Structure formats: structure tokens, C-alpha cells
Amino acid sequence: MSAPLRIGFVMLHTSPLDVPGTKDAGGMNVVVRAQADALALAGHEVTIFTRRSDPATPHRTVLASGLAVVQIDAGPARLLAKGEHEAVMAQFGERLGEAVQQAPVDLLHAEHWFSGIAALPVARSAGIPLVQSYHSIAAPPESPLTDGERPESPGRLAGERRLAREADLVIAVSEAERRTVLDRLAGDPARVRVVPLGVDTELFHPCTEPHGAVEHDDADRGAGERPEAILVGRLHPLKGFDLAIEAVAALPPERRPSLRIVGAAPPDGDDYVRALHEAVARHGMAGTTLFEGALPREELAERLRRATVMLVPSHSETFGLVALEASASGVPVIARDTGGLREAVLDGETGLLVQGDDPQAWAAALSALLDDPQRIAELARRARPYALDHNWAASAERLLDTYRALLAPEAPRAPEASAHRG
Ligand code: UDP
């Protein structure tokens, strides 16, 4: 076996200690934690550097053998709205540089653009490679939500382009994201690699009881008598949960599934949450809709396997991890026909892809599926093997291969990096 690596993940704006589905924590947190766990288990030494957002968190938290989280003091030690992080990138970078000088790493892997811009000078002065993962790429402010997340702060578009140019390697989570890096950010095809995501198929597994036969605790909702559609994710407009509510509302009341919504609002997301609650009330769906807030992974997995169908109406996703988690749970997915969701859901095999924003089209797909238990069973049967093909150990192994290729003496590096090569 080749020598173990010292890997520094940089996660400026959210912490691996946060519960996914709360604050700004979501897929990125799940991915980093799962890959870091797998790398540490394989004998590598992994440190995740994050910004201190709570004065009480210890400087260093050991999560597992070979895996620690280190708090970097930059800006106020409290939660910041996403857009506020741009102002603390430089200070974070300085402190990160000090930390890396004291405890050297072989490479830095930055998650999201804030981390990349902070880590770039650190990697250059240490003479080590910078690997960049975007997780989401901003769409120009005037473009439709289907093009992706809006820049939360002014430097994002330029920052992301700079990283495509200057990072030594960009890791994309799907072919769709790879294309966005090439087309929108003018990335260099030789320095963009796809590392597929995984899913924990022990945590997310099918229900042993038949679908529809499960009585829910929520007796007042009459949920046990209805099929259940589940939505999972941060309550952000990009997720399109409003469309799912409209789609359910477009069905006659007696044929509507109950709706379970799992996830919480990001720090600046109260308006959207209010709008969702208002829509539910307006359509008379309060008795059959449950806003559960964010749930820990085990509880989420339990809810998921009991659902009849998952809806993923997101305007854009680089991949859409929740869809893979539904597949692992043997639950078919109805997702928007866009971006990485075309890879997370196999149309007609693990679920259905629906185009556009018309609630009627979504309602039609939903009711056709709910009316056809055999079809549900067939999709569920195909879903689990698809998920089993995506495991975190394989994902981490792919990541490691890309790290090793980058660390090889003859590896191509970003043009600017050659001068600093250690
Ligand atoms: N999640 C969770 N608890 C919640 C809501 C979401 O653990 O209450 C997890 C969910 O299971 C998934 C991640 O957060 O692993 C969301 O990832 P996805 O790629 O779907 O969306 P993103 O957050 O990256 O936009």
C-alpha cells in the first residue's frame, strides 16, 4: 500500500459538526463527512478546517481515528448569513496558513468557493496542490432559478471563475456539474474530474413492511390512510418545494397524498418558509402536511423508507443526494428533468423525470404513479441496486486516485502553480 496522505479539507462557511438540513448545512456537509470518514478509515490523516461560529466549540474535535475538525478564528464567532462570508475569506486564509504551517498537509481540498479563495494563497505558499469542489455554481443574477443558485455576495462569479483557472484540480459530483465548470467558468477539461457520490446503504434501507400499510404517528393527519409524498432539503427557493405543494393541491382533495417536509430554513430563509406555510393553508392542506424541521440522519432515514414517493422539484441540483438516499430506501423519486438530477434518477427505472414548472404536469405524474402500486413496486425494486452501486468507499477511492495523480511529480498543475511547486 502506498504511503498515507495528510489531507486538509477546507470548509469555511459551514461545519461538519452541523446537522445537515439546518443552517446552511446540506449535501456538501454529508459528502465531506462521508468522504473524510472513508479516507480516515483507509489510514489517511484528515483534518477539516472550518470557521469558528460558536465560541464554545473546542479548537480541535476528533471525530474518528485519523479525522479531526479544527476551528479557525475569522470574523465574529457566531453564525453568519451565507453572503457575509465573503468578508472573512482573507482573514480565514491567513489563519489557515498559520495552522498549515504548524501541522503541514500534502494537499488542500476546498469546499465551495469561499474556501477556495481563502485556501488558494495558502496552497501556493506551501507549494502544495489545491483541489476545488464547488457543490453549487452561481448563475448570473438575472437568470432563471433553473440555472442555479444566485450569487449571495458580489465576488462569487469572479471567484468561481478564478478557481476554475487557478485550482490544480476541480472535482465535480456529476457530468452535469463538470459541463457547467467547463461552459460557465471556462474550466480546463484536463483539470476537471468527476468523482461520483455515494450513499450509506446501511443507514438508508427499504422498509420491511409493505408500502401503504404503515400507520404514521400523526393520527390527526389521517396519514395512515393516504400515500405519502416526502420532500427533503434546506427550505430554500432553489429547492422548489412550493411547486410540490401546488402539484399536490392540483389533485382533488380526496386523492391528495399527505406531504411530509423535512429540513429547516437557512439563516436568511424565513420568507420562503412563511410562503410555504401560507400556500399549504391556502389550499386547505394543513391537516395533511407536516413540516418536520431538520431531522438527524437516523430519523430522516426512518421517515424516508416509510414514504410512498419522494418529490425533488429543485430548480437546479449539481447532483441531488436526497434522490439517491430515496433509491437506497426503495422509494421512487419524481424529480425535475434538469442538471445532476438526470444522473441521480434513472428515468423510468428508479423514478420519473418531469419537465418544467407546471403544477398540473407534476400532479399528473404524481397521481399516475400513486394509482399504480405495481409501478411503484417495480421502481422501488430497481432503485435499491442502483444505490448499492454508489458507495462512499468507492467514492473516496476515486478521490484518492485523483489526489495521488496530482501529487505525482509529472502531474499537470494549474499554470500559476508551477512557479510555486514544492
Ligand atoms: N438532510 C438531513 N436532514 C434534513 C434535511 C436534509 O440529513 O433534515 C440531508 C439529506 O439527507 C442530504 C443532504 O442533507 O444528504 C442534502 O443534500 P442534497 O444534495 O439533496 O442538497 P444540497 O443541500 O446539497 O442542496
- The answer to whether the CB of 27 is under 6 A from ligand 1 is yes
How many folded domains does the chain comprise?
A: 2
10 and 104 both lie in a single domain? yes
Tell how far the Cα of 387 is from the centroid of ligand 1, in angstroms: 16
- The answer to whether the CB of 129 is under 6 A from ligand 1 is no
- pLDDT at residue 214 greater than cutoff 60: no
Atom of ligand 1 nearest to the CA of 264: 8
The answer as to whether 82 is a domain residue is: yes
Q: Atom 14, ligand 1: which residue's CA is nearest? A: 26
pLDDT reported for residue 208: 81
Selection from 310, 398, 394 nearest residue 354 by Cα:
310
118 and 264 both lie in a single domain? no
Q: Atom 5, ligand 1: which residue's CA is nearest? A: 21
189 and 173 both lie in a single domain? yes
Ligand 1 probe mutation, 11, 13, 23, 30, most atoms within 8 A of CB: 30
Tell how far the Cα of 323 is from the centroid of ligand 1, in angstroms: 10
The answer as to whether 206 is a domain residue is: no
- pLDDT at residue 387 greater than cutoff 90: yes
Atom of ligand 1 nearest to the CA of 26: 23
Q: Atom 6, ligand 1: which residue's CA is nearest? A: 21
Q: Atom 9, ligand 1: which residue's CA is nearest? A: 20
Tell how far the Cα of 80 is from the centroid of ligand 1, in angstroms: 20
64 and 97 both lie in a single domain? yes
- The answer to whether the CB of 231 is under 6 A from ligand 1 is no
191 and 245 both lie in a single domain? no
Q: Atom 15, ligand 1: which residue's CA is nearest? A: 27
Tell how far the Cα of 16 is from the centroid of ligand 1, in angstroms: 13
pLDDT digits (tens, 9 = 90+) for 175-191: 999 999 999 999 999 99
Q: How far apart are CA 422 and CA 411, in angstroms?
A: 13
pLDDT reported for residue 152: 85
Q: How far apart are CA 146 and CA 143, in angstroms?
A: 8
* Cell numbers found for residue 289: 402536511
Q: How many CB atoms lie within 10 A of CB 274?
A: 11
pLDDT reported for residue 62: 98
pLDDT reported for residue 210: 57
- The answer to whether the CB of 325 is under 6 A from ligand 1 is yes
318 and 405 both lie in a single domain? no
Selection from 374, 396, 385 nearest residue 346 by Cα:
385
The answer as to whether 110 is a domain residue is: yes
- pLDDT at residue 218 greater than cutoff 50: no
The gap from C-alpha 230 to its chain's centroid, in whole angstroms, comes to 17
Q: Atom 3, ligand 1: which residue's CA is nearest? A: 21
159 and 293 both lie in a single domain? no
The answer as to whether 1 is a domain residue is: no
Q: Atom 13, ligand 1: which residue's CA is nearest? A: 27
**Residue 290: φ, ψ to 5°:** -125, 120
- The answer to whether the CB of 26 is under 6 A from ligand 1 is yes
Q: How many CB atoms lie within 10 A of CB 361?
A: 14
The answer as to whether 203 is a domain residue is: no
282 and 293 both lie in a single domain? yes
- Tell me the residue range of the domain where 314 lies: 213-388
Q: What is the CATH number of the domain that holds 75?
A: 3.40.50.2000
The answer as to whether 310 is a domain residue is: yes
Atom of ligand 1 nearest to the CA of 31: 15
Confidence of residue 221 (pLDDT cuts 50, 70, 90): very low
- The answer to whether the CB of 262 is under 6 A from ligand 1 is yes
pLDDT digits (tens, 9 = 90+) for 244-302: 999 999 999 999 999 999 999 987 789 999 999 999 999 999 999 999 999 999 999 99
Instruction: Report the predicted TM-score, pTM, of the whole model to 2 decimal places.
Output: 0.93
DSSP-based three-state secondary structure for 181:
helix
142 and 276 both lie in a single domain? no
pLDDT reported for residue 114: 98
The answer as to whether 207 is a domain residue is: no
* Cell numbers found for residue 17: 459538526
191 and 157 both lie in a single domain? yes
163 and 232 both lie in a single domain? no
The answer as to whether 67 is a domain residue is: yes
